[in-house]
Structure 1
Amino acid sequence: MKYSNKENYFDAIIVGSGTCGATIAKELSKKHKNVLILERGGNEPLKESLMGYAKISNEVRVTDKLKDMRAFTTGGTTAMYLAVADLPPIKTFKNLGIDLTEDLEQARKEIPIGEISDDLIGDQAKKLGESAKDLGYDWKKKLMLVDQSKFNSKNFYEVKWKARTFIESALRDGATLINQAIVSKVLHDNKKAIGVEYTVGKKKEVLKAYGEKIILAAGSLATPIILKDSGIKNVVSHGFYINPSIGLIGSIPGLASAENFCGCMGAKLDDEIELMDANFHRFLFNVGMLVSAKPLRIASYPKHVGITVKVKEPVGGELTKEGKYSKKLTEEDHRKLLKGIDAANEVLKNAGARKIFKTGLISGGALGTIKIKEHIDEKLQTEYEGLYVCDGSILPESDRVTPTLTLVCLAKYLARHLAASL
């Protein structure tokens, strides 16, 4: 069925240019599909600076006291992430009818994935790791999405993989990108998705674009709201999870460290509590000290060591009628945080750290709001034919992995099926 003129009709309309949106756009464009990408943020060059972060960062409240940070820019939140990665839970997805094996193999060929080499790990991180191992923790390296071959001891930001590179590839292959595009809802006809409504920038004019396939990849915080406003009422019916985390930072007299790739090591305290290296390179450390109201510590960066406590809390909460996320942490959640804090304190003190302080509590988003086999099928299609979801909102709560690599694989999986049906 034709709903508009040829210039306004696409094989696929992708809402969001983050990890999933960028991957799908790249895969479909290289197969000569006509792709439209609608990105809420701008397209300015990415810079790791206070002003650069301030221009693209956006906060969303997910509990009474916690906010989650996201980025409005081409490439989404990979513009300001740590580049830590976990392998996707292949078995979990296979049980849901989704085989990501082939997609993981392809992702390994296209994205720099590996552990940080020993010679690129700073003394802060090494000191922390030695202390953790001394106390009996199974302190191991984490995978990171970093091109170490291009690292020159200063370009920590530039060598992290970013989804923007996939968008640039899609554009070279003919995709169309519209920035400052805020999608309000999906258009549908007799339970078939046919397009989207959106505005651009501060203009009030409502625009429409039509397509054969509509993919919501706007992020775990935005996609459920778009679905709700499009008439799909049962999203977030089981709640969501946020992985609450807190950092501890102290100083070790006499330590004079080089800089670090933050998050490159860690260990599980148990199935519910994880400890992770939180030794940032200098710029991010300075930002953290400003946010924590500890500006005097900036001058003594080489002496500081940090560790993050992340806990697994049960799924719960709701998306209110006003489109707001609402959840409360339980006494058990706080007990797990305190247990992790005690362990982190022990690791820091064993390393010789003094003047230890806690950062503010942060969240990992509103993940798992949309359930596979309930809200979407094994092809990631919703109850509306031709409408698909692919972002952090569909991640199963059973496996709390650092999501970037899993999302790339899910997007490749979806793109394969879309390309075959277009």
Structure 2
Amino acid sequence: MKYSNIEEHFDAIIVGSGTCGATIAKELSKQNKKVLILERGDNSPLKESLLGYAKISNEVRVTDKLKDLRAFTTGGTTAMYLAVADLPPIETFKNLGIDLTEDLEQVRKELPIAEISDGLIGAQAKKLSESAIQLGYDWKKKLMLVDQSKFNHNNYYEVKWKAKTYVEEALSNGLKLVNQATVSKVIHENKKAIGIEYSIGKKKNTFKAYGEKIILAAGSLATPIILRNSGIKNVVNHGFYINPSIGLIGSVPGLSSAENFCGCMGAKLDDDIELIDANFHRFLFNVGMLFSGKPLRIASYPKHIAITVKVKEPVGGELTEKGKYHKELTEDDHQKLKRGLDVADKILKNAGAKKIFKTGLISGGALGTIKIKEHVNTNLQTEYDNLFVCDGSILPDNERITPTLTLVCLAKYLSRHLIASF
């Protein structure tokens, strides 16, 4: 195909600058590939503040009552995540024909992956841990993506790894980043992807960019809609999963604590129910109390301890013809939540907590909308040549992990294959 403007032709066009998009951009730009990222959000400095979060937050309804939270900004949802990092399920992916072993080794060298050291864990998290272990639960530390060497007890947000750092590295290597770009569809000819159609901001004007490789990394809720708009209709035909979560918070008289890295510890009750330390640092605690209608608790932050209950629910639901996601939680799902809450309540009370209250139910992230070996092959390519998918939409449902580290590895894996194919 001939292009009217050679400046609009790229080696790779990436939709989305979150974990996968940023990683792929970094890897390709290092190899002197001409790369374009189209990011729906803007490129403002990231700040942990009510205004900062409100500016980038976006919610998508996934059940009648639950919405999934995502971030529209350079770096995607890592701009407002907890930085918890589960290891990729290597064997699960090997069974699907994808070997992430080499990629995990590389990621371990690049990212600050470690358990939080004892000296940086606040009294709230320690109190919760002691109570859970005393009651016989296998309460253990979790890996986190935190640069502890730079931590000064005031920069909880700044020391978390964010995908934006990879975008900035790619920019120094020649990446072109277009912000406030909403992608409508993939341009294709004879079942081969050749470009992207998008708009900027609120303007109705449509722009086109052309590339050798097109990578959809827009997120598990946005990517299937783009695929459908591009003529691939069978996405989400198995539904998706959300891992519904709910919290318990109580006040322990006499407890005084420094702040905490939320999510740094936890335990599995069984394959379907997980308990997670939910002792936020002060800013996030204050936000939570405001949204929970408990503003008077803000003043007594050091006395509070909290647990999040997360449950595994079956894959299901649909993406309607109108582009809306929908599924329903079952009675079994609610029973799992109740069992988890009962144990969380025992742990809190054993720790001396009083005035315990329950937070609202939230979506744990809508994932698994696209199936490997059905919607994409082992190189993550769709039924259209040169069109690839790499984001939370392709995460298998049998391993319900915190996805960030796995997504970085998948992006490294895809990058290797893309570089070899140029």
Deviations 1:51-107 (A, max 9, x none): 000000001100000001100000000000000010000000011110000100111
Partner of 2:350: 350
Q: Report whether the alignment pairs 1:312 with 2:312.
A: yes
Question: Cα gap change, 1:4/1:417 in structure 2, threshold over 3 Å: closer, same or farther?
Answer: farther
Matched with 1:144 is 144
Partner of residue 105, structure 1: 105
Alpha-carbon distance in 2 for matches of 1:420, 1:82: 34
Q: Which residue of 2 aligns with 1:90?
A: 90
**Displacement of 1:3:** 3.8
Partner Cα separation in structure 2 for residue 365 and residue 147 of structure 1: 25
Compared with structure 1, are the counterparts of its residues 4 and 103 closer, same or farther at alpha carbon in structure 2 (3 Å cutoff)?
Answer: farther
- Paired letter, 1:239: G
Indicate yes or no: 2:415 matched with 1:408: no
Give the residue type in structure 2 aligned to 1:378: T
State the one-letter code of the partner of 2:376.
I
Q: Residue 186 of structure 2: SS of its match in structure 1?
A: strand
> Quick one: which amino acid aligns to residue 263 of structure 1?
G
Q: Counterpart of 1:195 in 2: which secondary structure?
A: strand
Aligned partner letter, 1:399 = E
How much does 1:109 deviate? 1.1
Verify: 1:66 aligned to 2:66, yes or no: yes
Letter aligned with residue 321 of structure 1: E
Deviation at 1:388, TM superposition (A): 0.2
Output one character per residue of 1:94-126: Cα deviation in whole Å (capped at 9) or x when no partner.
111100001001111111100000000000000
> Residue in 2 aligned with 1:197?
197
* Partner SS state of residue 215, structure 1: strand
Q: What's 2:169 paired with?
A: 169
Query: Quick one: which amino acid aligns to residue 358 of structure 1?
Result: K
CA-CA distance at 1:365 after TM superposition = 2.2
SS of 1:266's equivalent?
Answer: strand
For 1:14, the equivalent position in structure 2 comes to 14
State the match for 1:266 in structure 2: 266
Instruction: Tell me what 1:118 maps to.
Output: 118
- d(CA) in 1 for partners of 2:81, 2:38: 21
Amino acid at match of 2:139: W
1-side partners of 2:40 and 2:402: how far apart? 24
CA distance in 2, matches of 1:143, 1:197: 39
Paired residues for 1:133-282 under 5 Å: 133-282=133-282
The 5-angstrom pairing of residues 31-70 of structure 1 reads: 31-70=31-70
Secondary structure of residue in 1 paired with 2:276: strand
Please show how residues 331-350 of structure 1 align to structure 2 within 5 Å: 331-350=331-350
2:75 maps to: 75
Unaligned residue ranges in structure 2 (runs of 5+)? none
Instruction: Give the SS at the match of 1:99.
Output: coil
- Cα deviation, 1:30-49, whole Å, max 9, x if unaligned, reads 00000000000000000000
Per the TM alignment, residue 219 of structure 1 is displaced from its structure 2 partner at its CA by: 0.5
1:270-302 per-residue CA deviation (whole Å, 9 max, x = no partner) reads 110000000000000000000100000000000
Pairwise CA distance, 1:4: 4.1
CA offset at residue 5 of structure 1?
Answer: 2.5
SS at match of 1:54: helix
Q: TM-score, normalised by structure 1?
A: 0.99
Distance 2:376 2:12 in 1: 18
CA distances 1:147-174 after superposition (whole Å, capped 9, x unpaired): 0000001000000000000000000000
SS of the residue corresponding to residue 108 of structure 2 reads helix
SS at 1:84 equivalent: coil
Amino acid at match of 2:156: F
Equivalent position SS for 1:407: helix
What is the DSSP-based 3-state SS (H/G/I as helix, E as strand, rest coil) of the residue aligned with 2:11? strand
- Return the TM-score normalized by structure 2: 0.99
CA distances 1:132-158 after superposition (whole Å, capped 9, x unpaired):
000100000000000000000100000
Q: For structure 1, which runs of at least 5 residues remain unmatched after alignment? A: none
Q: Is the 8 A contact 1:62 1:365 kept in 2?
A: no
2:85 touches 2:404 (CA, 8 Å); kept in 1?
A: yes
What letter is aligned with 1:224? P
Alignment of 1:356-395 (within 5 A): 356-395=356-395
> Residue in 1 aligned with 2:2?
2
Counterpart secondary structure, 2:289: helix
TM-superposed deviation, 1:203: 1.4
Assess if the C-alpha contact under 8 Å between 2:310 and 2:364 holds in 1.
no
Over 2 Å off, 4+ runs:
1-5
Secondary structure in 1 matching 2:87: coil
Q: Does the 8 A contact of 1:17 with 1:76 survive in 2?
A: yes
Which letter does structure 2 place at the counterpart of 1:334?
H
Counterpart Cα distance in 1 of 2:175 and 2:271 = 43
Question: SS of 1:377's equivalent?
Answer: coil
Could you say which residue in structure 2 is the equivalent of 1:397?
397
SS in 2 for 1:125: helix
The CA distance in 2 between the partners of 1:112 and 1:274, in whole Å, is: 24
Given that residues 150 and 159 in structure 1 are in contact (C-alpha distance below 8 angstroms), is that contact kept between their aligned partners in structure 2? yes
Calculate percent identity across the aligned residue pairs: 81
Q: Give the Cα–Cα distance (whole angstroms) in 2 for the partners of residues 201 and 317 of structure 1.
A: 31
- 8 Å CA contact 2:29, 2:170 repeated in 1: yes
AA at the equivalent of 2:249: I
- Could you say what secondary structure the match of 2:199 adopts? strand
**3-state SS, counterpart of residue 196 of structure 2:** strand
Contact between 1:235 and 1:370, CA under 8 Å: does it hold in 2?
yes
Question: Match of 1:286?
Answer: 286
Q: Residues of 2 paired with 1:353 and 1:325: CA distance?
A: 38
Is the partner of 2:25 in helix, strand or coil?
helix
